[in-house]
Amino acid sequence: MRRGTDIAVVGAGSGGIGAALAAERAGARVLLIERSPTIGGTAVRAGVSTWEPVAGATGVPFEIYLALRERPDAVACYSYGRHICMPRPGEAPFPGGEHVMDRAVGYLNTLQRHGMRSLREDEQFARETLHGVVFEPDAYAEVACEMLREAGVEVLMGIAVVGAEATDGRVEHIRLSDGTEVRGRAFLDCTGDGALCAAVGCEMMAGRDWRDRFGEPHAPQVYGQECPCHGKASSIATNAATLIYRIMPADTDRVEPLPDDIPAECWWRERFPSVSAVQAPRGGYIMNMLPTAEYRSSAAFYEECRRRLLAHWHYVQSEFPEFRGYRLAWIAPEVGLREERRVVGEYVLTEHDLLAGLSGQGHADIIAIADHAMDLHGEGGGCRELSEPYGVPFRCLVPKGLRNVLVASRASSFSAIAASSCRLSRTMMQLGQAAGTAAVLALERGMDAPDVPADDLRDELRAQHVQLEWPMRDELREWIAQTDA
């Protein structure tokens, strides 16, 4: 069967939702294709239902937050509670960092991360400045579906892209797992691993980049010495993954028994990973251990992560008595991946951009800003804070050699270090909003997506309440404050 559309969006995670909404609202016919049985990507399937503090998360993310706020116990803003790096006198020890719901915090308070040296050095800054959003995954999926339906987006779920054909730099059609052939005027790859771009032969990146590739000061160097965590291997690990679980209060205290075939010993370095424990709107904690395992693409990976999760929960209950009053209530059906393949685009965002910041980048085509730390999990990782926000150029969304495709996801054109910062869900949603807007501008003007004038695209995004400058424009700040009142 053949079918046509103006714009086909592949992948209904954060980037795909932002892209589909922006394109349909701008007047295009949009077909959104998702291989999972639900939309929402890692926020739903992997339980990554926490939006960490980050600059630039206005536009579509704020709309979703407002819609969630209309539902009972669906969303809340949070502040820091207890933390192993910021112990306070008289507090019970905690197995990581606690985030507690805080009614005194509004959405504007969640829009900054930069400016901190470390939690240990800047406790006051962290407690006063760093806030985020936590939501219920099922409510998020329902809200996103309603918004897409109201906009007029056609959504296909449980169907994967299995092939694509491109001629002279233009994708002509994609093939779906149900046998359908979809032809479109433009295609937006919003998959986490750049599946559409890979299917048509785009150059891809994977793993941590050696220092000689981009000259990044914190990239591993192998020439003349061995990488401290990977030796001279040709394949370097990706940012490690996490299998998230949820715990709920129980009537009695006990340590839940560990299955006989799962050892209680630590598998990770010398101690169990710390955990980000976020109070959920409908009770309990969302538990994100940092991390569960180095990512491996294999059928056994999920089961191995599940075994480690059970060992981690047993450790938490055994060592921290307050958690004996909780029970394991849910394990995410998918592992939360922080990184997979990445597409080589017209411009590759690197550590140099993050360190330069908006004041030093000099790009005329910035379509999103962010300020999350360079945050690599796993062996050889670490968290390096930034001094100011940086911008993501539109060219990072343009795969080299393609004229009617944009990529808006964690598979966009980033080095591994840059990806460790800009991978956050709300930033990906902003990339999607920019891609959807650019695709429609290109169709309206009879031009290819890479040729859309940057100033025109940026003006359109500002009209959609997207933050592109730091500090935030007064009129945007006032609008968000009034709307969130």
d(CA 401, CA 345): 8
22: region left, alpha or beta (phi > 0 left; psi from -120 to 50 alpha): alpha
pTM comes to 0.96
For residue 25, the one-letter residue type is: R
- Do 410 and 340 meet the contact criterion of CB atoms below 8 Å apart? yes
Q: What is the pLDDT of residues 387-405, one digit of tens each?
A: 999 999 999 999 999 999 9
Q: In this predicted model, what pLDDT tens digit does every residue of 17-70 receive, in sequence order?
A: 999 999 999 999 999 999 999 999 999 999 999 999 999 999 999 999 999 999
- The tokens describing 369, both together, are 């800003």
Dist. CA 354–CA 370, nearest whole Å: 9
- Tokens 């046509």 correspond to what residue? 4
Percent of the chain with pLDDT over 70: 97
Distance CA 92, CA 400 (A): 53
Tell me what the mean pLDDT of segment 328-350 comes to: 97
| DSSP sequence for 463-484 | HTT---SSSPPHHHHHHHHHHT
pLDDT at 224: 43
Structure tokens that stand for 462 in this block = 């500002």
2-75+112-206+341-483: CATH topology is FAD/NAD(P)-binding domain (3.50.50)
- Distance, in Å, from the CA atom of 442 to the CA atom of 394, rounded to the nearest integer, reads 13
Give residue 80's pLDDT: 97
The owner of tokens 């939360």 is 336
Spatial separation of the C-alpha atoms in residues 224 and 217, rounded to whole Å = 16
How many CB atoms are located within 10 Å of the residue 121 CB? 11
Give the model's pLDDT for residue 236: 60
Q: Tokens 């670490």, residue?
A: 382
pLDDT tens by residue, 427-443? 999 999 999 999 999 99
Q: Which of 9-13, 126-130, 265-269, 371-375 has the lowest mean pLDDT?
A: 265-269
pLDDT per residue over 107-149, tens digit each? 999 999 999 988 889 999 999 999 999 999 999 999 999 999 9
Per-residue pLDDT for 227 more than 60? no
Q: What percentage of residues in the chain have a pLDDT greater than 90?
A: 91
What's the helix, strand, coil split of the chain in %, to 5?
A: 30, 25, 45
Share the mean pLDDT of the chain. 95
H-helix segments, 170-261 = 195-199, 211-214
Dihedral of the alpha carbons of 248, 254, 259, 264, in degrees to the nearest 10? 100
174: pLDDT strictly greater than 80: yes
List, in order, residues 6 or more apart from 79 with CB less than 8 Å away: 99, 100, 102, 105, 127, 130, 131
Quote the CA–CA distance of 40 and 219 in Å, as a whole number.
32
The pLDDT of residue 228: 45
Tell me the CA distances in angstroms from 372 to 121, 354, 389, 390, one per residue in order.
18, 9, 8, 9
* Residue with the two structure tokens 């308070």: 109
Cα 241–Cα 114–Cα 423 angle in degrees, nearest 5? 30
The CATH 3.50.50.60 domain(s) of the chain lie at: 2-75+112-206+341-483
pLDDT of 222 strictly over 90? no
Judge contact between 32 and 40, C-beta under 8 A.
Answer: no
